[in-house]
């Protein structure tokens, strides 16, 4: 398993903060990846170019981290396709119900002192902790 790297976490956090600030400054938009992707996939929505560039940057940034910097993820058995599809649908439903994702609420919403974002982040954390605890208990 790869060791946790505090410098990598700080650099990543600073880059996310810079990205969120630049998007707000240049476009007047809050950085929420689920909303950006949703509007990119919807027909007849304005802003396709910047949304497409943003998503392309996410993918290229991950490829850059993998190929140039050498950042890798721990190796795990591949889950079934149905599990991935189901998980993706649940995430999509969750972001629609929560009116945003972790990046929108956690990074930008909290920075703007949004009560809705505070409640969303506390919900994300609580459910994540419960899920990790239950998974650990059931698989050990």
Tens digits of residue pLDDT in 29-46: 888 888 888 888 888 888
Question: Distance between CA 6 and CA 2 in Å, rounded?
Answer: 12
Number of domains in the chain: 1
47: helix, strand or coil? coil
DSSP state of 43: T
Least Cα distance to 14 among 2, 3, 6 occurs for: 6
Residue 30 falls inside a structural domain = yes
Residue 100 falls inside a structural domain = yes
Instruction: Give the chain's mean pLDDT.
Output: 85
pLDDT over 90 at 56, yes or no: yes
pLDDT band at 3 (very low <50, low <70, confident <90, very high): low
Least Cα distance to 61 among 80, 33, 39 occurs for: 33
Containing structural domain, residue 76:
6-139
**Side-chain-facing half-sphere of 140: CA atoms under 13 Å:** 6
The residue assigned the tokens 């972001």 is 95
Q: At what angle do helices 81-97 and 33-41 cross, to 10 degrees?
A: 100
Residue 1 falls inside a structural domain = no
Query: What pTM was estimated for this model as a whole?
Result: 0.68
């Amino acid at each position: 398993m790869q060791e946790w790297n505090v410098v990598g976490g700080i650099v990543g956090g600073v880059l996310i903060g810079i990205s969120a600030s630049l998007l707000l400054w240049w476009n007047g938009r809050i950085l929420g990846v689920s909303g950006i992707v949703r509007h990119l996939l919807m027909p007849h929505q304005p802003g396709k170019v910047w949304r497409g560039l943003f998503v392309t940057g996410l993918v290229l940034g991950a490829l850059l981290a993998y190929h140039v910097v050498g950042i890798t993820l721990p190796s795990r058995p591949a889950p079934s396709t149905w599990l991935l599809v189901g998980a993706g649908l649940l995430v999509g439903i969750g972001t629609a119900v929560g009116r945003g994702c972790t990046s929108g609420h956690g990074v930008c919403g909290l920075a703007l002192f949004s009560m809705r974002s505070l409640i969303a982040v506390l919900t994300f954390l609580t459910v994540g902790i419960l899920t990790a605890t239950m998974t650990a208990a059931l698989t050990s």
